Amino acid sequence: MMRTTALPIIDAHQHFWNLERNRHPWLSDPTPIAFRYGDYAALRRNYLPADFRADTARHAITGTIHIEAEFDPADPVGETDWLSGLAAAEGLPSACVAQAWLDREDVADILAAQAARSLVRGIRHKPRAAATAAAAMRGAAGSMDCPVWRAGYALLERHGLSFDLQTPWWHMDAAADLARDFPATQIVVNHSALPADRSPEALAAWRAALARVSEAGNVALKISGLGQPGAAWTYAANGPVIRDAIAIFGVERCMFASNFPVDSLVAGYDTIVDGFLRAIEDRPVREQRLLLHDNARRIYRM
């Protein structure tokens, strides 16, 4: 039987889109992109609060954080304004992490406009990343080391914005340096730093990378996005990863998140919640509440 809990849950990473109204190039354009879960044709449909509520009906979801969904880069604030209308009409999302391209010439104007929207808590811009650990290098243009990218990042503090970081674990050394150099900016690492390779050697390197970045007190971790291409989401595969992530970062800095509807490609919502609850069921209720709700509320200033 799938686990449920009476504790409230804030889903710290989810997406909405209306493809009849808005352009998301990866979903709207005919040519698909290279995607970490492989074929994503099933996502090329509207996903709105009614769909989310249907998927989450068994759980006490009290709020969500919408993470920018690769909206039309020509109009980053357009997604935020659409979401603001959605929230007013539907009660979701509760807050959002908006789009801004930190190495673009218009970054100052975009950040100011995003920060002026009451729904916005932070920004996500995926820095340039290597495809494999073996190919990882420091100093590439568009990476977390890039002076132009960092100049844009430096503006987040001015507006009180946090930063959602989506990059593989082999770039956590750069993330640790970023956190050190900008201690007033909260970083939230997305998707457990993407431990896609589950070989013992890769998982050991992933744990070491997480340990390094966790030394910075201004870094938190979202436990989500744990699916693997061509494989169903299982507790056997992901439970140990969840438990290791919490052990490394601590219960005060980890958050449950679903990455829905993207992770519907690998699991139903109930399966993801069940796996997370199973991984934390031996913890005190106070700690479970932190992981499921209170940390997200605090970190995203809800």
Domain range for 59 is 9-299
Question: Cα separation of 192 and 206, whole Å?
Answer: 9
Spans in the chain with pLDDT lower than 70:
none
Token output for 208: 């070491």
Neighbours of 253 (CB within 10 A): 21
Question: Residues 44-97: pLDDT tens digits?
Answer: 999 999 999 999 999 999 999 999 999 999 999 999 999 999 999 999 999 999
In a domain, 282, yes or no: yes
| Cβ–Cβ under 8 Å, residues 52 and 65 | no
Alpha-carbon span 201 to 105, nearest angstrom: 41
Q: What is the pLDDT of residue 71?
A: 98
Do 222 and 191 meet the contact criterion of CB atoms below 8 Å apart?
yes
Amino acid at 198: R
Q: Which structure tokens are listed for 104?
A: 């673009």
**Total domains, the chain:** 1
Crossing angle of helices 76-90/107-115, nearest 10°?
10
CATH of the domain at 79: 3.20.20.140
pLDDT score for 239: 98
Q: How far is CA 213 from CA 100, 164, 179, 222, 288, in A?
A: 23, 14, 8, 14, 23
Instruction: Give domain status of residue 19, yes or no.
Output: yes
Q: What are the residues facing 188 on neighbouring strands? A: 164, 220
276 located within any domain: yes
Structure tokens at 167: 């990059």
pLDDT of residue 75: 97
What phi and psi, each to the nearest 5 degrees, are found at residue 3? -80, 145
Q: What count of residues does the chain have?
A: 302
The pair of structure tokens assigned to 53 is: 């509520």
pLDDT at 211: 98
pLDDT of residue 1: 76
Query: Is position 126 within any domain?
Result: yes
Is 38 part of a structural domain of the chain?
Answer: yes
Residue 240 forms part of a structural domain: yes
Question: What pLDDT is stored for residue 213 in this prediction?
Answer: 98
List C-alpha distances in Å: 158 to 81, 155, 174, 204, 293: 22, 5, 22, 37, 27
Is 0.95 surpassed by the pTM of this model?
Answer: yes
Report if residue 4 sits inside a domain. no
The answer as to whether 2 is a domain residue is no
